[in-house]
Chain A
Amino acid sequence: MKKEILLAIIIGLAFGLFITYGLYRVRKATQSAKTQPVSTTAPTASPGNDPSSALLTILNPEDNTVQEEPSTTVTGISQPNAVLVLFANDEEFITTADGSGNFSFTVDLKSGGTILTVHALNENGETFAATRTIVVSSLLSQPAESASPAAETK
């Protein structure tokens, strides 16, 4: 009789602990799912519909940017080793994309508006072009009353 009671206690303890551990794990899992940190920043749209499939995607500068700095870095993604030509005002710049398709140009800008056009040519001779407009001006940074009509146009 004593043996049976002891056995019952051991089995009961083991079974109870097993179920308890199972319940504990389930509770923990549901709690951690509920307390996951929520991102407070809005997701940013990726430039272009599908950068991986596009022959040319300009990442910087954003179109119609207004800035005070008289230079900008044009960066983007094209096909690996594609030849890239940038037209900025009357100047032209040539570079080659790296093995991942990344490219970069640093361009000096004049005060006023500049239209940046990038042409990408792949090994098959296919050409794609993308354009960005950038304006160098400090007018918007000045208070309306003190904004003098400085020479901003080219």
Chain B
Amino acid sequence: MKYSKIIFTIIFFCLFVTSFRTVAAQDATDSSATKEALPKRIDRILKEKQPEVAGALAEISIKKRGFVGPIERVSATSLTIATHKGPLVLPLDETVKVLKSNKEISITDLSVDNLVVAIGTEIDGTFMPKYILSSGTSEKPKVRMVLLGTLTGIEKSTLTLKTRGTNETKEVTVNKSTEYQNSDGSEISLKMLGEDLTILVIATDDEDGLTATTIRSLAPLSDPKKS
């Protein structure tokens, strides 16, 4: 019985060690083969992707950029533009060209409130202008409003609207330029609009108040003449 126990233990141990070593040897072979192949694969992929990566890197670091806005401040060395995100100070030197109506002009020809377009490149987040394009005009863009609400009153030249959400009452002037649209965008006449209709109003806002440029019904309307 003693012999059998000893033999049992020895055989068990031998089998375990042998099988473990076999697997370890197999893994070592795989691992060394992988280690040898890996640098070659890396080199090949690097060579293949090099032009792509170089192009992408150049694109990331240098971008064409353009800014639009009226001039806030101008001096011999800098120009400040009021962009929609806030003021942008542009450094000026002899390499920056200032153009107006096909001709190169001097920076001193620019004045405050002139609408300009600055074109240049952005390198690592810093914008460097190359061209300043001046329109020569100081016209401020119109203030545009978009309203959604219910029609509560219709007169010849005025519509009264109760805005959705805020429940404000707004008077909107309509004129010959005002376009009336059905829900699908097709043109309709003012006569087709009725009270309690939900409409979208696009208007300009100035010292004279709101003047509608487009009024669109959000519910489909049918022309009584056609039906």
Contacts and interface: CB of A to CB of B under 8 A. Distances in A.
Interface string A14-51: 01110110011001000100010000111000000000
A69 interface: no
Contact of A85 (B49, B134, B146): B146
B8 A8 contact: yes
A12 B15 contact: yes
A134 interface: yes
Nearest to B10: A8
Contacts of B149: 125
B119 A16 contact: no
A12 B12 contact: yes
B209 to A, nearest CB: 19
A64 B67 contact: yes
B173 interface: no
Nearest to B84: A131
B75 to A, nearest CB: 21
B119 A87 contact: no
Contacts of B103: 149
Interface residues of A, number: 57
Contact of B49 (A17, A40, A64, A125): A40
Interface residues of B, number: 65
Given A1-B4, A112-B135, A151-B102, A134 B19 contact: no
Nearest to A21: B23
A94 B214 contact: yes
Mostly, the A contact residues are: mixed
Contact of B141 (A8, A115, A137, A149): A115
B44 interface: no
Interface in A66-124: 66, 83, 85, 87, 92, 94, 112-115, 117, 119, 121, 123-124
20 contacts: A1-B4, A4-B8, A5-B4, A9-B15, A13-B15, A20-B19, A20-B20, A24-B27, A40-B49, A64-B65, A94-B181, A94-B200, A94-B214, A113-B67, A113-B117, A113-B133, A119-B146, A124-B164, A137-B119, A153-B136
Interface of B: 3-4, 7-8, 11-12, 14-16, 18-20, 22-23, 27, 30-31, 34, 49, 53, 56, 60, 64-68, 83-85, 97, 99-104, 116-117, 119-121, 130-131, 133-136, 141, 144, 146, 148-149, 163-166, 181, 185, 200, 202, 213-214, 216, 218
